[in-house]
Amino acid sequence: MTAYIDREQTKAKHFILRGYLQELAYKVLRSWDIAYVDGFSGPWESKTADFSDTSFMIALGVLKEAQRIIYEQTRERRKVRCFFSEKSASAYQKMFAAVAPFHRPEEGFEVKTFHGEFVEAVGEIRTFIGTAFPLVFIDPTGWTEYPLAKVAPLFAYAKCEVLINFMYGHISRFLTHPDERIIASLDPILGGPGWQERLDPTMKKGPAVEKLFRETLKAAGKFGYVVSTRIDKSTEERPHFFLAYGTKDRAGLKAFRETEYKALREHAKNRSAAMTRKRDDRANMASLFADFEAEQKEASIDDLVDEQKALAKEMLLEMLSAAPDGIVFVGVLDAMLQAFMLRETNVKDVCVELAKKGKVENTWSPGGRKPTDHTVIKPASAQNP
């Protein structure tokens, strides 16, 4: 899609948003109403006349389609509520005009817009959410406009999901800035003053700050799980941002990891195309190896998964050394999905591969080829005490 040329990282973000919304909507709308909240709606850098390359239009399209399909299947029409906030007057007017036709409360589809600072809308948003299942999307241009203590009321629901664009590329440039006011500007998203002392001393400062952000978000929203996806710059081998995801449900975490894997494979191909385009522009020639290079980039994601699986095997053996009676598979799954960029099928493969090497007991055969939720994963020594 030409709208995303030189915006490959935005395409990856939108891929994740679309994929996860589809997973969420088709499940949630069978039992609950859903409320989607976009805190920084834009549009920004849109290249299409119909704003199809914006987060708000992607969300409207996915949610409208999900509502229609579920109604056709169940003859029940759950309500969808969408709240879009934007402080820029010019961007707000464009967004308002684009989303207004979707506001059809008689069809159970409501759209509300807010012109102003996102934090000023928190009370109004809570009223708008009501008893619906909220998904909150926070995609700012910086880090000072969503103090977690002030937006935390949006997460105070038994069921709630959040996606936040942690602007790593911008933030990492200021971590050692001599201006104390800039350092203090990070307090609201890193748990308050003194955040430097709370950084993991075993990590480099940039990754340690991203980790502290996830920990702070988890505490602020009382989330059961918070993970993040690294999205690299289009033509450079360094992160542009991390898309942090918080949920209170294991099913959400599993769905996110599936969407993440698909998104990163797609992003790898798009980055390869961007790098080829940049190189060819400099050389004024078309590359003969573009398809091969794209395949290599895509394969690199699977290499990363293999590396993550190797680390997961080490972690599982350490966990079992402290639990000689074994650990129920869902406990292993919880730990692995939070610690590594893995999907449920990868975690099952980790158990199977360790069993083949005689390091864990095969407790799932002959009933199945892989563990199930209630399978107890035991160290091999438990077989031969």
C-alpha span between 47 and 34 (Å, rounded): 29
Q: What is the pLDDT of residues 124-170, one digit of tens each?
A: 999 999 999 999 999 998 899 999 999 999 999 999 999 999 999 88
Q: Which of 243, 267, 239 is nearest to 139 (CA)?
A: 243
Handedness of CA 240, 227, 199, 151 (dihedral sign): positive
C-alpha span between 59 and 102 (Å, rounded): 11
Query: In this structure, what are the phi and psi dihedrals at residue 236, rounded to the nearest 5 degrees?
Result: -135, 150
Helices assigned H by DSSP within 79-179: 89-99, 122-129, 148-151, 168-171
What local confidence, expressed as pLDDT, does residue 212 receive?
Answer: 98
Domains of the chain, residue spans: 2-261, 276-382
Name the E strands within 118-202: 133-138, 161-166
For residue 312, what are the contacts with CB-CB under 8 A and spacing of at least 6?
336, 339, 340, 342, 346, 347, 350
- Looking at this protein, which amino acid is placed at residue 265? R
What three-state secondary structure class fits 51? coil
What local confidence, expressed as pLDDT, does residue 273 receive?
Answer: 60
- Looking at this protein, which amino acid is placed at residue 217? L
From residue 337, give the alpha-carbon distance in Å to each of 347, 368, 369: 8, 22, 21
Question: 290-321 and 329-339 helices cross at what angle (nearest 10)?
Answer: 130
Q: What is the pLDDT of residues 259-307, one digit of tens each?
A: 999 888 887 776 656 555 455 555 555 444 444 444 444 447 888 899 9
Question: 8-28 and 55-74 helices cross at what angle (nearest 10)?
Answer: 20
Record the tokens describing residue 310, joined without a space: 């190797």
- How many angstroms from the chain centroid is the CA of residue 41? 17
Record the tokens describing residue 30, joined without a space: 């069978």
Which CATH architecture does the domain made up of 276-382 adopt?
Answer: Orthogonal Bundle (1.10)
What local confidence, expressed as pLDDT, does residue 64 receive?
Answer: 97
Q: For residue 197, count other CB atoms closer than 10 A to its CB.
A: 7
What local confidence, expressed as pLDDT, does residue 275 receive?
Answer: 52
What three-state secondary structure class fits 156? coil
Q: Which of 242, 32, 270 is nearest to 138 (CA)?
A: 242
Residue tagged 């542009």 (tokens):
240
Q: Give yes or no for a contact between 43 and 54, defined as CB atoms under 8 angstroms apart.
A: yes
Prior bond of 147 cis (ω within 30°)? no
Task: Please list the ranges in the chain whose pLDDT falls under 50.
Answer: 277, 286-299, 382-385
Q: Write down the pTM of the prediction.
A: 0.88
What local confidence, expressed as pLDDT, does residue 240 receive?
Answer: 78
From residue 358, give the alpha-carbon distance in Å to each of 161, 248, 325, 345, 379: 39, 35, 16, 20, 9
From residue 214, give the alpha-carbon distance in Å to each of 37, 107, 142, 173: 20, 38, 16, 19
Residue tagged 């941002």 (tokens):
241
From residue 189, give the alpha-carbon distance in Å to each of 176, 181, 186, 218: 17, 14, 6, 11
Top CATH class of 2-261 equals: alpha beta
